Structure 1
Amino acid sequence: MTRTAPPTGEVPAGSAPVGQVAARMSTLDRFLPVWIGLAMVVGLLAGRWVPGIADALDAMAVGSISLPIAIGLLVMMYPVLAKVRYGELGTVVRDRRTMVLSLVLNWLVGPALMFTLAWTFLPDLPEYRTGLIIVGLARCIAMVIVWNDLACGDREAAAVLVALNSVFQVVAFAGLGWFYLEVLPGWLGLGATGLDVSVWEIAVSVLVFLGIPLAAGYLSRRIGEGRRGREWYEERFLPVVGPWALYGLLFTIVVLFALQGDTITSRPLDVARIALPLLLYFVLMWAGSMVVAHRIGLGYARSTSVAFTAAGNNFELAIAVAIAVFGVTSGQALAGVVGPLIEVPVLVGLIYVSLWSRRFFTDTRTGDLP
């Protein structure tokens, strides 16, 4: 994921079309959809055909945290968070438009949209419907950082918005679950479902999947720049650790799909029914967020961060909650697993759509172009 920043940090509106951007990417970045597709296939086949692999991976857990997935996510997120210029986070925090828009999209629009799609497409399948609603409540704090980076979004904005999501996830997840699974269905005359999940479980998830790599990234920049200077840190150190973000991503995908490969491949029709509302959700959330951010005057980089943060979901938390509350073989757990099956290829595709859309922004500043 090595990047070469232009001298001015800006490009004229409409420049650097997708073809030129792709040509300047490393081989690893350029064929990302291929590697991700292969990782998904390897994981699914391993889960289906390798005896005992799912049980072995599932056994490597501490509480509700899968150690293989945690390792993959930490390796994936550290290089991107090491690239963040933490001294510039204040400019994002002071940007009220970005902060308010992200909060509205993530905690009002996203859950409401998933609730609507779940009841529209799965009215007769309450287990899958509940699983989708849980996915909609779990806002993204992990993979979105990689998607944002590949789409040349604002790294500092992504770091702040992910941290903001983490805080709200701890304080709001259980309450929103109660509202969307019990209160709102009751008001609408629909069937209600309980969701018993502790704030502690959510806090642990946030600490592991965001807190550890965030602290490591911050310390790396602080120590590296302090001892060797910014030029060494950004031109010598970051290019070495950068590719590990995609290695971690691919490892995570293989592990995730190996864990549920047998379930996914043995219930293809159920997977298809769950996939349709998920597909609509990711596309609508990303496109709507991008349009609104553009309309209120955000530049390309910050609009991209808002859009990917709003579209992505914390599948680790959603799956953990579904398994803890409803069981590993439940329909709710299957819906959680199908989430990344659809999210990963869709958001990878939206990276290219995002790069193409840069021509429509008058301010196409990015902190770090490909």
Structure 2
Amino acid sequence: MSTFERYLTLWVALCIVAGIALGHFMPGVFHAIGAAEIAKVNLPVAALIWLMIVPMLVKIDFAALGQVREHWRGISVTLFVNWAVKPFSMAALGWLFIGYLFRPYLPADQIDSYIAGLIILAAAPCTAMVFVWSNLTKGEPHFTLSQVALNDTIMVFAFAPIVGLLLGLSSIIVPWDTLVLSVALYIVVPVIAAQLLRRRLLATGGEPALKRFLDRLQPLSLVALLATLVLLFGFQGEQILAQPLIIALLAVPILIQVYFNSGLAYLLNRISGEQHCVAGPSALIGASNFFELAVAAAISLFGFQSGAALATVVGVLIEVPVMLSVVWIVNRSKGWYEGGRAGERIAEETGPGH
């Protein structure tokens, strides 16, 4: 993890302050930016989102899908947590905390929007930062790559139906045309463009050319993320200043969701007898979110000034410190983990004397 990425939470906090200040003193500029849209797609934000997403998708080698069978236990656990547990557990936590327990402390007209943002956040599994988390836990790189490639493939088809279902259960009107457009604009087209770019780079200069390209573009990707946050908080600033507890209250269900899903994935891998080097990234993939996509989808569906957009941004704010804490737990518990079936399976495979 680069120094810049390590202090991402600090940069996000500074963007919050900058966005609120600029939104207060220069409201006309932000209203002009908000009005620059076609078919409910804000053009400045769409450009920033693409700068965020494409470099991350260029890293993904979809040929790695052929390696899925090698780690079927970890793959099965992660898919179960990512697609059968995570979106639904977040919806339940959103209904409990935002819709009930914290309702008196939040703007009444934004309750449903906050819940929608949490659902959108949980329905998008992480595709980029998970490589960092996997490396910090000495994770199996081929498992991480194949799992991310598989998640991206599933996301093309499953993101819209899951979000639509859970928003419908929350009695939130689902703008299906905008949701489908978001999937096409922020998943399908970037995946195709990134893979074409990846093939071209590898064909002309091999892995060194790909690495040079990513090294140059990765800082730009993070800058685009931070610029998007400045815009979001420029629109959200007055509401946050009026009720500063909003961010802390939105963070509660996100934190619970991260620790619940990572713990569940880690425990299921241990029960299944999967190796620790697979269980670590499996737990981290099961807990983290593709917040760039979530932010883009929330803006497209509900707008800059919505509670949904703010809820997804809170996910960005706490991503790094929370995931680093999960990394710490996974590393410190390795001895306990290998005392279970994983240790027995490794012993059986290596035989006596190894």
TM-score (norm 2): 0.75
Residue number among 232, 237, 244 corresponding to 1:256 in the alignment: 232
Find the partner of 2:183 among 206, 210, 215: 206
In the alignment, which of 151, 174, 179 is matched to residue 161 of structure 1? Answer: 151
Q: Report the 3-state secondary structure (helix = DSSP H, G, I; strand = E; otherwise coil) of the residue aligned with 1:229.
A: helix
Q: Which residue of 2 aligns with 1:225?
A: 202
Structure with more of its chain in helix, by fraction: 2
**Which residue number corresponds to residue 317 of structure 2?**
345
1:38/1:294 Cα in 2 relative to 1: closer, same or farther (>3 Å)?
A: farther
1:131 aligned to which of 99, 113, 118: 113
When residues 350 and 118 of structure 1 are mapped into structure 2, their CA distance, relative to the original with a 3 A threshold, is closer
User: What are the superposed Cα offsets for residues 12-39 of structure 1, whole Å, 9 maximum, x if unpaired?
Assistant: xxxxxxxxxxxxx443234333222222
Instruction: For 2:312, give the aligned amino acid.
Output: P
TM-superposed CA distance for 1:234, in Å, is: 4.1
Instruction: Give unmatched runs, 5+ long, in structure 1.
Output: 1-24, 182-192, 364-370
**How many pairs were matched up?**
317
Q: Which has the higher contact order (CA 8 A, sep 6+)?
A: 1
- Most deviating of 290-299 and 63-72: 290-299
Name 1:279's counterpart in structure 2.
Answer: 255
Contact 1:80 1:149 in 2 (8 A): no
Mark the CA change 1:62 to 1:26 in structure 2 (over 3 Å): closer, same or farther.
same
Cα gap change, 1:141 to 1:272, in 2 (>3 Å): closer
Distance 1:253 1:71, change over 3 A: same
- 1:166 maps to amino acid: V
| Alpha-carbon distance in 2 for matches of 1:271, 1:243 | 26
Query: 2:38 matched to which residue of 1?
Result: 62
Contact residue 275 and residue 338 of structure 1 kept, 8 A = no
Distance 1:355 1:275 in 2: 19
Match of 2:4 in 1: 28
- Determine the structure 1 residue equivalent to 2:350: none
After superposition, residues 120-199 of structure 1 pair within 5 angstroms as 120-121=96-97, 122-123=99-100, 125=103, 127-138=109-120, 144-152=126-134, 154-178=144-168, 180-181=169-170, 193-198=171-176
Would the alpha carbon gap of residues 84 and 196 (structure 1) be closer, same or farther in structure 2, given more than 3 Å must change?
A: closer
Q: CA deviation at 1:302?
A: 7.0
Unpaired runs of 5+ in structure 2? 136-143, 343-354
Match of 1:42 in 2: 18
| Rounded Cα–Cα distance in structure 2 between residues aligned with 1:239 and 1:225 | 15
Change (3 A) 1:112 1:27: closer
What is the percentage of aligned positions where both structures have the same residue? 23
Measure, in 1, the Cα distance between the counterparts of 2:14 and 2:123: 24
Within 2, Cα distance between the matches of 1:239 and 1:355? 24
Q: Is the 8 A contact 1:77 1:142 kept in 2?
A: no
